[in-house]
């Protein structure tokens, strides 16, 4: 089994999650947060947790959902006319003007970097028709992602709605989903963004409030949050070598310290173990005579040193009907089955196994002509 401990090329893994292995503390450390989660990006495995499913107010980390919905709307280059209502939104602001026109893309930058509540309201009205309509879209997306202990009532996380909450685990799920989007990933990790200012001769300049982008060299993005009721909330992401981690804290007085501690413990305790290498799968008995089995990407899973020898793989293969496989299709090929990965007897991951038929030899016209000549000669020599 190969273990990745050094920087390497980024690998996209397409897989079907069975469930998350019970969290194992990355190290003997504590966090100031009332709730916290450290999750690995590729697999969703929880490496550290503290009250992960406790429902709490989340403040401006709500805007992760607002941002990804705006990006997925496909309207990032469209201009948004800012309403009076959006401008009057209380709290942190990017100081939009009533009636000004600004691209949705710039609004998302202002939302994520400066936590503009006015930007959040303008996005909600443009994408969802109203804040109430946008909240419906937020909850719909939350259900799709599996955020079962979350309810969104506004696009910014202000305390103006009682029925607005989530959990550390659900916010890690949301961030994991959002980080699979390259546009979100870029915006989240941007330190400075400049946007046109319609009433001034200079551009707006927004600096990211996420101090971890400067404090911690492996930080790749995140979102800050604070309200009087939620206190300090924080989501950050980090990458070292082949491992990407997501850290979430809710009501954490020392959140910067908490996140650096979780990241360092996670990177120091877990490695990405290669459970199945990319390419052809060799089994003791070849199940199909007319082709071979393979997977498109190596199967990696975060593991501690003591867990490395506890992995096993069960290959569940289909019987082809009429020479063809039915069901899941990956990269234009029907899956011949799946490989189920177990850690210490518990299924933790599943990946599709594909079938590649053996190529038939193409002889062409010249080959056919030679065979005819050979047969003719054979007939003559045999009388």
pLDDT at 217 over 80: yes
Asked if 259 and 278 sit in the same domain, the reply is: no
pLDDT at 182 over 70: yes
Least confident of 66-80, 87-101, 313-327, 340-354: 313-327
Asked if 312 and 192 sit in the same domain, the reply is: no
Asked if 196 and 258 sit in the same domain, the reply is: yes
* Domain C-terminal end among 269, 301, 327: 269
Which pLDDT belongs to residue 329?
73
Annotated catalytic residue, options 42, 105, 115, 239? 115
Residue 231 falls inside a structural domain: yes
Annotated catalytic residue, options 60, 92, 265, 292? 60
* Residue 114 dihedral angles phi and psi, to the nearest 5°: -105, 0
Asked if 162 and 102 sit in the same domain, the reply is: yes
Domain CATH number, residue 353? 2.60.410.10
Domain CATH number, residue 235? 3.40.710.10
Annotated catalytic residue, options 42, 50, 63, 231? 63
If one compares 335 and 69, the residue with the highest pLDDT of the two is: 69
Output Rg (C-alpha) for the chain, integer angstroms.
27
* Catalytic residue status for 191: no
The band of 371, judged by pLDDT with boundaries at 50, 70 and 90, is: low
Asked if 194 and 316 sit in the same domain, the reply is: no
- Give me the chain's average pLDDT, please: 88
Residue 218 falls inside a structural domain: yes
Say which residues have a Cβ less than 8 Å from residue 319's Cβ, sequence separation at least 6.
none
* Domain C-terminal end among 245, 269, 293: 269
The band of 321, judged by pLDDT with boundaries at 50, 70 and 90, is: confident
Asked if 258 and 290 sit in the same domain, the reply is: no
Asked if 40 and 163 sit in the same domain, the reply is: yes
Q: What is the largest CA-CA distance in the chain?
A: 104
Asked if 278 and 197 sit in the same domain, the reply is: no
What's the pLDDT tens digit per position in 62-83? Answer: 999 999 999 999 999 999 999 9
Asked if 184 and 103 sit in the same domain, the reply is: yes
* Catalytic residue status for 115: yes
* Catalytic residue status for 292: no
Residue 370 falls inside a structural domain: no
Domain that holds residue 344: 274-357
Asked if 260 and 320 sit in the same domain, the reply is: no
75 is in an annotated binding site: no
Q: How many domains does the chain have?
A: 2
How many beta carbons lie within 10 A of that of residue 309, not counting itself? 10
């Amino acid at each position: 089994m190969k273990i990745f401990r050094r920087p390497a090329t980024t690998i996209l893994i397409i897989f079907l999650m069975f469930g998350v292995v019970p969290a194992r503390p990355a190290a003997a450390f504590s966090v100031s947060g009332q709730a916290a989660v450290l999750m690995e990006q590729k697999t969703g495995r929880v490496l550290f947790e503290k009250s992960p499913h406790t429902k709490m107010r989340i403040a401006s980390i709500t805007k992760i959902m607002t941002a990804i919905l705006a990006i997925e709307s496909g309207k990032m280059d469209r201009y948004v006319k800012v309403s009076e209502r959006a401008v009057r939104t209380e709290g942190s602001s990017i100081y939009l003007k009533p009636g000004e026109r600004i691209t949705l893309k710039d609004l998302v930058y202002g939302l994520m970097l400066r936590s503009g509540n006015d930007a959040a309201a303008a996005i909600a009205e443009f994408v969802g028709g109203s804040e109430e309509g946008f909240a419906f879209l937020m909850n719909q997306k939350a259900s799709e992602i599996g955020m079962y202990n979350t309810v969104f009532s506004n696009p910014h996380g202000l305390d103006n709605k009682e029925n607005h909450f989530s959990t550390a685990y659900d916010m890690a799920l949301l961030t994991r989903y959002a980080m699979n989007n390259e546009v979100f990933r870029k915006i989240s990790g941007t330190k400075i963004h400049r946007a046109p200012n319609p009433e001034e001769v200079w551009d707006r300049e927004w600096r990211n409030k996420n101090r971890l982008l400067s404090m911690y060299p492996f930080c790749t993005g995140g979102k800050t949050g604070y309200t009087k009721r939620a206190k300090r909330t924080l989501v950050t992401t980090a990458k070292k070598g082949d491992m990407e981690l997501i850290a979430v804290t809710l009501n954490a007085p020392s959140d910067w310290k908490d996140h650096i501690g979780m990241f360092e413990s996670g990177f120091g305790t877990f490695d990405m173990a290669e459970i199945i290498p990319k390419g052809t799968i060799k089994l003791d008995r070849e199940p199909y005579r007319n082709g071979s089995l393979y997977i498109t990407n190596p199967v990696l899973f975060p593991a501690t040193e003591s867990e490395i020898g506890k992995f096993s793989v069960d290959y569940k293969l289909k019987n082809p009907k009429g020479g063809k496989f039915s069901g899941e299709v990956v990269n234009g090929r029907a899956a011949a089955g799946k490989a189920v990965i177990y850690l210490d007897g518990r299924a933790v991951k599943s990946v599709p196994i594909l079938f590649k038929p053996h190529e038939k030899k193409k002889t062409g016209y010249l080959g056919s002509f030679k065979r005819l000549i050979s047969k003719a000669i054979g007939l003559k020599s045999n009388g």
